[in-house]
Amino acid sequence: MKRALITGITGQDGAYLSQFLLGKGYEVWGFLRRSASAEVIDSRLRWLGIERDIRMIDGDLLDLSAIIRAVQESKPHEVYNLGAQSFVKTSWNQPLLTGMATGMGAANMLEGVRIAAPEARFYQASSSEMYGLIQEPIQSETTPFYPRSPYAAAKLYAHWMTVNYRESFGLHASSGILFNHESPLRGIEFVTRKVTDAVARIKLGLASELPMGNLDAKRDWGHARDYVKAMWLMLQQDKADDYVVATGVTTTVGEMARAAFAHVGLNAEDYIKIDPAFLRPAEVDVLHGNATKAKEKLGWVAETSLAAMIAEMVDADIARHKKRIG
Ligand code: NDP
Ligand code: GDP
């Protein structure tokens, strides 16, 4: 039986990846940082009904000794480093913490694998945010990077450390440059989920407006359930490599919000209020990915359209709020 160790097990991708690997018969080990709110920390895993199927090991990405123990105990064939301070806006308020968890955390994981399981295959959760101030209109593996936030700078360090450990020590280490991916399990602070949750509350009469920032930014949004398959496929290849994972379709924040309101028969313009508090010190205006390499080498393509995903998210948020209010 194959064993996988996943950091970021309580996050959106950790939940979907766990579900996917359990379905393939893996023994899944989660690297879990201690929380004072232990009763809610596994809410995403519970939503998928898999919380009892995962073996948890205590640890934090900042603590190399805990990482080494986790690797020694789980004896993984595959290690997925999904843990990070992942919210771009927060990274301007907590730049050093972001550097440590998102950047140095990946270096700690690479060291842990190099020391305790050098034969294991390693996946690093890199990000399209690394393209930042885009240097080409459509971004691929060969597009130069230009990070625009402490988050993106930390991810770039982690990306190059992954490449470096592959080239220096022969680790089977791959970096997935994933464009934005969402789902009903997306953190509520990210724009898609913020919108779908607000649409649900407005529809149910629990809210009357939605404060937002820059509606003109464009993102290439896919579904997390599709994207975790690409992570796994990367680790099934004979040679480790780097891959862009994207839909190839880019949409403005405003159009995405209009689609969410329209799904329940409402008009977005009647509810959205621009609030400067949601603007950023520096913006990433456009992300638009070219995932040809993933298609040709991994046989991977995005399966879910933005419209279908937004509809799924709005419906899930309506169901959540209905359950809550009884
Ligand atoms: P989430 O924010 O949902 O999950 C982040 C996870 O990291 C949580 O499990 C969190 O634990 C954990 N974590 C944070 N800090 C630490 C730490 N110091 N030690 C151990 N664990 C920690 O992210 P996603 O699931 O959306 O994304 C997964 C990864 O992919 C992240 O690295 C993200 O940056 C990257 N990525 C995501 C994209 C997206 O669109 N979703 C796009 C490209 C890259 P806790 O629950 O305790 O907070
Ligand atoms: P990011 O691409 O990782 O930063 O993902 P987000 O979902 O946080 O943001 C996507 C885009 O939506 C960015 O360009 C934001 O500036 C824009 N945006 C506009 N209004 C909001 C808002 O209210 N919240 C968030 N999170 N983003 C917003």
Q: Catalytic pick from 27, 129, 182, 312?
A: 129
Instruction: Please name the residues in contact with 160: beta carbons below 8 A apart, sequence gap of 6 or more.
Output: none
pLDDT digits over 61-97, tens only? 999 999 999 999 999 999 999 999 999 999 999 999 9
Angle at 237 (CA atoms; ends 236, 240), nearest 5 degrees: 115
Low-confidence ranges of the chain (pLDDT < 70): none
Q: How far is the CA of 152 from the centre of ligand 1 (A)?
A: 13
Q: Which residues line ligand 2 (CB under 6 A)?
A: 88-89, 129, 180, 189-191, 194, 212-214, 217, 219, 253, 278, 280, 283-284
Torsion sign, CA atoms 127, 133, 135, 138: positive
The per-residue pLDDT for 167 is: 98
Is residue 51 flagged as an active site residue?
no
Predicted structure pTM score:
0.98
- Residue whose token pair is 């313009």: 269
The per-residue pLDDT for 110 is: 99
Is residue 123 flagged as an active site residue?
no
- Residue whose token pair is 């399966």: 303
List the domains of the chain with CATH numbers: 3-181+222-245 (3.40.50.720), 187-219+249-325 (3.90.25.10)
Is residue 303 flagged as an active site residue?
no
Q: Catalytic pick from 16, 80, 123, 151?
A: 151
The per-residue pLDDT for 326 is: 82
Q: Ligand 2 pocket check: which of 178, 199, 253 to mutate, most ligand atoms within 8 Å of Cβ?
A: 253
Q: Ligand 2 pocket check: which of 128, 177, 191 to mutate, most ligand atoms within 8 Å of Cβ?
A: 191
Q: How far is the CA of 164 from the centre of ligand 2 (A)?
A: 31
User: What residue's CA is closest to ligand 1, atom 15?
Assistant: 84
Q: How crowded is residue 93: how many other Cβ atoms within 10 Å of its Cβ?
A: 10
